[in-house]
Amino acid sequence: MVMNLSPSVKKQSLVISIDAVAGLIVQIQKDNGEIPWSEGDKTDPWDHVESAMGLTIAGYYRAAQKAYSWMRDHQLEDGSWYASYRNGEPDDKTHDTNMSTYIAVGLLHHYLVTGNKTFLTEMWDTMAAAIEFAVDLQTPEGEIYWAKSPDGIVDPTALLTGSSSVYMSLKCALAVAGILGIKRPLWREAFSKLGEAIRLKPHLFNMTKSRFSMDWFYPVLCGAVSGPAAHQRIDKYWKKFIVQNHGVLCVSDQPWVTIAETSELCLALSAMGNDNLAGLVFDWIQERTYEDGTFWCGYTHPDGVIWPEDKMSWTNAVALMAADALYGLTPAGKLFDHQFWEKSAFSEYILP
Protein backbone atom coordinates (compact mmCIF):
# COMPACT_ATOMS: atom_id res chain seq x y z
CA MET A 1 0.00 0.00 0.00
CA VAL A 2 1.12 3.59 -0.55
CA MET A 3 0.40 5.87 2.40
CA ASN A 4 -0.88 9.34 1.47
CA LEU A 5 -1.62 11.26 4.64
CA SER A 6 -2.53 14.88 5.18
CA PRO A 7 0.58 16.97 5.77
CA SER A 8 1.09 19.01 8.92
CA VAL A 9 2.15 22.61 8.74
CA LYS A 10 5.62 21.78 7.46
CA LYS A 11 5.62 18.04 6.85
CA GLN A 12 4.81 16.61 3.46
CA SER A 13 2.60 13.58 2.82
CA LEU A 14 4.06 10.12 3.33
CA VAL A 15 4.30 8.61 -0.12
CA ILE A 16 6.62 5.64 0.35
CA SER A 17 5.40 2.18 -0.60
CA ILE A 18 5.30 0.15 2.60
CA ASP A 19 4.60 -3.02 0.62
CA ALA A 20 7.71 -2.54 -1.53
CA VAL A 21 9.99 -1.59 1.34
CA ALA A 22 8.90 -4.40 3.66
CA GLY A 23 8.65 -6.82 0.74
CA LEU A 24 12.35 -6.36 0.08
CA ILE A 25 13.17 -7.37 3.66
CA VAL A 26 10.92 -10.42 3.37
CA GLN A 27 12.64 -11.33 0.11
CA ILE A 28 16.11 -11.05 1.66
CA GLN A 29 15.20 -12.99 4.83
CA LYS A 30 16.32 -16.62 4.82
CA ASP A 31 14.10 -19.55 5.71
CA ASN A 32 15.73 -19.82 9.17
CA GLY A 33 14.87 -16.18 9.99
CA GLU A 34 18.28 -14.62 9.31
CA ILE A 35 18.21 -11.24 7.55
CA PRO A 36 21.45 -10.37 5.72
CA TRP A 37 22.27 -6.86 4.57
CA SER A 38 21.28 -7.81 1.04
CA GLU A 39 20.99 -11.02 -0.95
CA GLY A 40 24.29 -12.92 -0.65
CA ASP A 41 25.74 -10.39 1.78
CA LYS A 42 26.74 -10.66 5.44
CA THR A 43 24.47 -10.52 8.49
CA ASP A 44 25.25 -8.55 11.62
CA PRO A 45 23.09 -8.77 14.76
CA TRP A 46 22.30 -5.04 15.00
CA ASP A 47 21.10 -4.59 11.45
CA HIS A 48 19.32 -7.95 11.62
CA VAL A 49 17.24 -6.61 14.53
CA GLU A 50 16.65 -3.30 12.73
CA SER A 51 15.29 -5.24 9.76
CA ALA A 52 13.03 -7.27 12.05
CA MET A 53 11.62 -3.99 13.39
CA GLY A 54 10.79 -2.99 9.83
CA LEU A 55 8.93 -6.26 9.37
CA THR A 56 6.92 -5.61 12.53
CA ILE A 57 5.90 -2.13 11.39
CA ALA A 58 4.63 -3.55 8.11
CA GLY A 59 2.64 -6.30 9.84
CA TYR A 60 4.91 -9.26 9.09
CA TYR A 61 4.78 -10.45 12.69
CA ARG A 62 5.67 -14.08 12.11
CA ALA A 63 8.65 -13.14 9.96
CA ALA A 64 9.85 -10.77 12.68
CA GLN A 65 9.48 -13.48 15.32
CA LYS A 66 11.51 -15.83 13.12
CA ALA A 67 14.24 -13.19 13.06
CA TYR A 68 14.32 -12.99 16.85
CA SER A 69 14.23 -16.78 17.12
CA TRP A 70 17.30 -16.87 14.87
CA MET A 71 19.01 -14.69 17.47
CA ARG A 72 18.04 -17.09 20.24
CA ASP A 73 19.33 -20.07 18.25
CA HIS A 74 22.71 -18.45 17.53
CA GLN A 75 23.47 -16.80 20.87
CA LEU A 76 26.91 -17.59 22.30
CA GLU A 77 27.53 -18.87 25.80
CA ASP A 78 28.59 -15.44 27.10
CA GLY A 79 25.30 -13.89 25.94
CA SER A 80 26.73 -12.17 22.86
CA TRP A 81 26.71 -12.84 19.14
CA TYR A 82 29.52 -12.73 16.64
CA ALA A 83 29.83 -9.37 14.92
CA SER A 84 28.91 -10.86 11.56
CA TYR A 85 27.93 -14.05 9.78
CA ARG A 86 28.13 -15.06 6.14
CA ASN A 87 26.38 -18.00 4.52
CA GLY A 88 25.43 -19.34 7.94
CA GLU A 89 28.98 -19.29 9.30
CA PRO A 90 30.76 -16.81 11.61
CA ASP A 91 32.55 -14.15 9.59
CA ASP A 92 33.82 -11.70 12.21
CA LYS A 93 34.14 -13.42 15.62
CA THR A 94 34.37 -10.21 17.63
CA HIS A 95 31.84 -10.09 20.51
CA ASP A 96 30.37 -6.57 20.26
CA THR A 97 28.34 -5.09 23.15
CA ASN A 98 26.35 -2.70 20.95
CA MET A 99 25.40 -5.34 18.41
CA SER A 100 24.53 -7.86 21.09
CA THR A 101 22.23 -5.67 23.19
CA TYR A 102 20.09 -4.18 20.42
CA ILE A 103 17.77 -7.18 20.60
CA ALA A 104 16.16 -5.48 23.63
CA VAL A 105 15.06 -2.55 21.46
CA GLY A 106 13.62 -4.91 18.89
CA LEU A 107 11.72 -7.00 21.42
CA LEU A 108 10.11 -4.00 23.14
CA HIS A 109 9.24 -2.59 19.73
CA HIS A 110 7.58 -5.88 18.75
CA TYR A 111 5.61 -5.94 22.00
CA LEU A 112 4.39 -2.36 21.59
CA VAL A 113 2.98 -3.22 18.16
CA THR A 114 1.60 -6.70 18.82
CA GLY A 115 0.97 -6.81 22.58
CA ASN A 116 2.37 -10.34 22.46
CA LYS A 117 3.57 -10.86 26.02
CA THR A 118 3.98 -14.60 25.49
CA PHE A 119 6.68 -14.06 22.88
CA LEU A 120 8.33 -11.49 25.14
CA THR A 121 8.46 -14.10 27.90
CA GLU A 122 9.88 -16.70 25.52
CA MET A 123 12.70 -14.33 24.54
CA TRP A 124 13.49 -13.09 28.06
CA ASP A 125 16.42 -15.39 28.77
CA THR A 126 18.03 -14.51 25.45
CA MET A 127 17.66 -10.78 25.99
CA ALA A 128 18.75 -10.93 29.64
CA ALA A 129 21.94 -12.80 28.79
CA ALA A 130 22.79 -10.22 26.13
CA ILE A 131 22.32 -7.34 28.56
CA GLU A 132 24.42 -9.07 31.21
CA PHE A 133 27.21 -9.49 28.66
CA ALA A 134 27.36 -5.72 28.14
CA VAL A 135 26.91 -4.74 31.78
CA ASP A 136 29.87 -6.95 32.65
CA LEU A 137 31.99 -4.74 30.39
CA GLN A 138 31.02 -1.48 32.12
CA THR A 139 33.72 0.43 33.99
CA PRO A 140 33.26 2.20 37.34
CA GLU A 141 33.16 5.50 35.43
CA GLY A 142 30.10 4.37 33.47
CA GLU A 143 31.28 3.77 29.92
CA ILE A 144 30.90 0.31 28.39
CA TYR A 145 33.79 -1.20 26.49
CA TRP A 146 32.83 -1.97 22.94
CA ALA A 147 33.95 -5.58 22.52
CA LYS A 148 35.80 -8.74 23.36
CA SER A 149 38.17 -10.27 20.84
CA PRO A 150 37.57 -13.81 19.50
CA ASP A 151 40.06 -14.93 22.19
CA GLY A 152 37.98 -13.33 24.95
CA ILE A 153 40.26 -10.32 25.51
CA VAL A 154 38.42 -7.11 26.39
CA ASP A 155 39.22 -4.11 24.19
CA PRO A 156 39.40 -1.18 26.67
CA THR A 157 37.84 1.23 24.18
CA ALA A 158 34.47 2.94 24.46
CA LEU A 159 32.63 4.32 21.44
CA LEU A 160 30.13 7.16 21.77
CA THR A 161 27.73 5.90 19.10
CA GLY A 162 27.92 2.32 20.34
CA SER A 163 27.48 3.33 23.97
CA SER A 164 24.49 5.49 23.05
CA SER A 165 22.90 2.52 21.36
CA VAL A 166 23.61 0.35 24.41
CA TYR A 167 21.94 3.06 26.52
CA MET A 168 18.77 2.69 24.45
CA SER A 169 19.03 -1.07 24.73
CA LEU A 170 19.32 -0.90 28.51
CA LYS A 171 16.32 1.41 28.64
CA CYS A 172 14.25 -1.03 26.59
CA ALA A 173 15.52 -4.03 28.57
CA LEU A 174 14.38 -2.38 31.80
CA ALA A 175 10.97 -1.77 30.24
CA VAL A 176 10.72 -5.42 29.20
CA ALA A 177 11.69 -6.49 32.71
CA GLY A 178 9.01 -4.19 34.12
CA ILE A 179 6.35 -5.58 31.78
CA LEU A 180 7.22 -9.09 32.92
CA GLY A 181 7.37 -8.11 36.60
CA ILE A 182 11.09 -8.83 36.92
CA LYS A 183 13.39 -6.58 38.96
CA ARG A 184 16.86 -5.77 37.67
CA PRO A 185 18.34 -3.08 39.99
CA LEU A 186 21.86 -3.59 38.63
CA TRP A 187 20.62 -2.80 35.12
CA ARG A 188 19.10 0.42 36.44
CA GLU A 189 22.42 1.36 38.01
CA ALA A 190 24.29 0.55 34.79
CA PHE A 191 21.77 2.58 32.76
CA SER A 192 22.11 5.60 35.04
CA LYS A 193 25.92 5.50 35.05
CA LEU A 194 26.11 5.11 31.28
CA GLY A 195 23.78 8.08 30.74
CA GLU A 196 25.90 10.24 33.02
CA ALA A 197 29.03 9.21 31.14
CA ILE A 198 27.50 10.10 27.76
CA ARG A 199 26.27 13.49 28.99
CA LEU A 200 29.14 14.61 31.20
CA LYS A 201 32.29 12.60 30.50
CA PRO A 202 33.18 12.84 26.80
CA HIS A 203 36.83 12.02 27.58
CA LEU A 204 35.81 8.43 28.39
CA PHE A 205 34.95 7.71 24.77
CA ASN A 206 38.52 7.31 23.74
CA MET A 207 38.14 6.33 20.11
CA THR A 208 37.06 9.54 18.44
CA LYS A 209 34.70 9.21 15.52
CA SER A 210 33.60 12.81 15.39
CA ARG A 211 33.77 12.70 11.58
CA PHE A 212 30.79 10.33 11.63
CA SER A 213 27.32 11.83 11.82
CA MET A 214 26.10 9.09 14.16
CA ASP A 215 28.41 10.44 16.88
CA TRP A 216 26.55 13.73 16.46
CA PHE A 217 22.95 12.62 16.86
CA TYR A 218 23.01 9.20 18.58
CA PRO A 219 23.29 10.66 22.10
CA VAL A 220 20.04 12.51 21.30
CA LEU A 221 18.39 9.56 19.54
CA CYS A 222 18.87 7.30 22.55
CA GLY A 223 17.60 9.91 25.02
CA ALA A 224 20.80 10.28 27.04
CA VAL A 225 20.91 13.91 25.88
CA SER A 226 17.52 15.62 25.90
CA GLY A 227 15.83 18.98 26.44
CA PRO A 228 17.80 22.17 25.67
CA ALA A 229 21.07 20.20 25.53
CA ALA A 230 19.68 18.07 22.70
CA HIS A 231 18.68 21.14 20.68
CA GLN A 232 22.09 22.70 21.28
CA ARG A 233 23.89 19.56 20.14
CA ILE A 234 21.85 19.27 16.95
CA ASP A 235 22.24 22.97 16.14
CA LYS A 236 25.98 22.98 16.81
CA TYR A 237 26.88 20.44 14.13
CA TRP A 238 24.00 20.85 11.68
CA LYS A 239 26.06 22.51 8.96
CA LYS A 240 28.86 19.99 9.40
CA PHE A 241 26.71 17.01 8.42
CA ILE A 242 23.67 18.31 6.55
CA VAL A 243 23.49 18.73 2.79
CA GLN A 244 20.47 20.99 2.45
CA ASN A 245 17.58 19.43 0.52
CA HIS A 246 19.43 16.12 0.30
CA GLY A 247 20.15 14.56 3.70
CA VAL A 248 22.87 13.57 6.14
CA LEU A 249 26.49 12.84 5.29
CA CYS A 250 27.70 9.54 6.71
CA VAL A 251 31.13 11.12 7.24
CA SER A 252 31.61 14.87 7.31
CA ASP A 253 34.59 14.94 4.94
CA GLN A 254 33.20 12.55 2.33
CA PRO A 255 30.51 13.44 -0.26
CA TRP A 256 28.18 10.54 0.59
CA VAL A 257 24.59 11.13 1.68
CA THR A 258 23.00 8.03 3.20
CA ILE A 259 19.33 7.16 3.58
CA ALA A 260 19.89 5.32 6.87
CA GLU A 261 21.66 8.17 8.65
CA THR A 262 19.09 10.65 7.33
CA SER A 263 16.25 8.46 8.59
CA GLU A 264 17.92 8.09 11.97
CA LEU A 265 18.35 11.85 12.23
CA CYS A 266 14.61 12.13 11.58
CA LEU A 267 14.05 9.74 14.48
CA ALA A 268 16.30 11.87 16.71
CA LEU A 269 14.59 15.13 15.72
CA SER A 270 11.17 13.60 16.33
CA ALA A 271 12.37 12.13 19.64
CA MET A 272 13.32 15.58 20.94
CA GLY A 273 9.98 17.02 19.84
CA ASN A 274 10.84 18.67 16.53
CA ASP A 275 8.48 16.75 14.24
CA ASN A 276 8.22 19.59 11.75
CA LEU A 277 11.95 19.63 11.04
CA ALA A 278 12.04 15.83 11.07
CA GLY A 279 9.26 15.76 8.49
CA LEU A 280 11.06 18.27 6.30
CA VAL A 281 14.27 16.21 6.37
CA PHE A 282 12.37 12.99 5.72
CA ASP A 283 10.75 14.59 2.69
CA TRP A 284 14.22 15.05 1.17
CA ILE A 285 14.67 11.27 0.89
CA GLN A 286 11.18 9.95 0.25
CA GLU A 287 11.77 9.72 -3.47
CA ARG A 288 15.37 8.45 -3.30
CA THR A 289 14.09 5.10 -4.45
CA TYR A 290 14.46 2.58 -7.23
CA GLU A 291 11.61 1.97 -9.67
CA ASP A 292 10.27 -0.78 -7.39
CA GLY A 293 9.86 1.68 -4.51
CA THR A 294 12.77 0.45 -2.36
CA PHE A 295 15.29 2.93 -1.04
CA TRP A 296 18.79 3.55 -2.24
CA CYS A 297 21.51 2.98 0.34
CA GLY A 298 23.11 6.33 -0.47
CA TYR A 299 24.44 8.59 -3.18
CA THR A 300 27.29 10.98 -3.77
CA HIS A 301 26.78 14.72 -3.74
CA PRO A 302 26.84 16.80 -5.86
CA ASP A 303 27.28 14.32 -8.74
CA GLY A 304 24.34 12.15 -7.65
CA VAL A 305 25.87 8.71 -8.21
CA ILE A 306 23.90 5.99 -6.38
CA TRP A 307 26.37 4.01 -4.26
CA PRO A 308 26.35 1.20 -3.44
CA GLU A 309 23.62 -0.13 -5.71
CA ASP A 310 22.73 -2.98 -3.33
CA LYS A 311 19.21 -2.89 -1.92
CA MET A 312 19.83 -2.97 1.84
CA SER A 313 17.39 -4.55 4.27
CA TRP A 314 18.30 -2.30 7.20
CA THR A 315 18.25 0.92 5.18
CA ASN A 316 14.68 0.20 4.13
CA ALA A 317 13.77 -0.82 7.68
CA VAL A 318 14.95 2.42 9.27
CA ALA A 319 13.12 4.45 6.63
CA LEU A 320 9.96 2.66 7.81
CA MET A 321 10.87 3.47 11.41
CA ALA A 322 11.23 7.16 10.58
CA ALA A 323 7.87 7.11 8.81
CA ASP A 324 6.33 5.42 11.85
CA ALA A 325 7.71 8.06 14.21
CA LEU A 326 6.36 10.88 12.06
CA TYR A 327 3.02 9.48 10.95
CA GLY A 328 2.06 7.07 13.75
CA LEU A 329 1.71 3.95 11.63
CA THR A 330 1.96 1.70 14.71
CA PRO A 331 1.87 1.99 18.53
CA ALA A 332 5.68 1.74 18.47
CA GLY A 333 6.08 4.97 16.56
CA LYS A 334 7.08 6.84 19.73
CA LEU A 335 9.62 4.27 20.92
CA PHE A 336 12.47 6.81 20.79
CA ASP A 337 10.37 9.80 21.89
CA HIS A 338 11.83 11.45 25.01
CA GLN A 339 8.43 12.53 26.28
CA PHE A 340 7.08 9.03 25.83
CA TRP A 341 9.69 7.69 28.23
CA GLU A 342 9.17 10.50 30.72
CA LYS A 343 5.37 10.33 30.81
CA SER A 344 4.49 6.68 30.13
CA ALA A 345 4.30 3.88 32.67
CA PHE A 346 7.78 2.83 31.54
CA SER A 347 9.32 5.74 33.45
CA GLU A 348 9.01 3.84 36.73
CA TYR A 349 11.02 0.97 35.30
CA ILE A 350 14.04 3.04 34.34
CA LEU A 351 14.31 5.50 37.22
CA PRO A 352 16.90 4.55 39.86
Query: Tell me, what's the pLDDT at 351?
Result: 79
Quick one: 9 exposed, middle or buried, by C-beta within 10 A (0-12, 13-18, 19+)? exposed
192 contacts 238 by C-beta, under 8 angstroms: no
Does residue 66 fall inside a structural domain? yes
Query: Tell me, what's the pLDDT at 207?
Result: 73
Which structural domain range is residue 209 located in? Answer: 18-350
Does residue 2 fall inside a structural domain? no
Residue 2 has pLDDT above 50, yes or no: no
Residue 1 has pLDDT above 90, yes or no: no
Q: What is the mean pLDDT of residues 198-207?
A: 92
User: What are the helix and strand counts (H, E) for the chain?
Assistant: 16, 8
Query: Tell me, what's the pLDDT at 189?
Result: 97
Tens-digit pLDDT profile for residues 50-96: 999 999 999 999 999 999 999 999 999 999 999 999 999 999 999 99
Does residue 295 fall inside a structural domain? yes
Residue 8 has pLDDT above 70, yes or no: no
Does residue 341 fall inside a structural domain? yes
Does residue 26 fall inside a structural domain? yes
Query: Tell me, what's the pLDDT at 3?
Result: 36
Query: Tell me, what's the pLDDT at 209?
Result: 79
Number of domains in the chain: 1
Determine how β-strand 242-243 pairs with β-strand 154-155: unpaired
- CATH number of the domain where residue 244 is located: 1.50.10.20
Does residue 3 fall inside a structural domain? no
Would you place residue 12 in the very low, low, confident or very high pLDDT band (cuts 50, 70, 90)? low
Does residue 225 fall inside a structural domain? yes
Does residue 96 fall inside a structural domain? yes
103 contacts 130 by C-beta, under 8 angstroms: yes
Computed over every residue of the chain, the mean pLDDT equals 95
Write phi, then psi, for 100 (nearest 5 degrees): -80, -30
Residue 5 has pLDDT above 90, yes or no: no
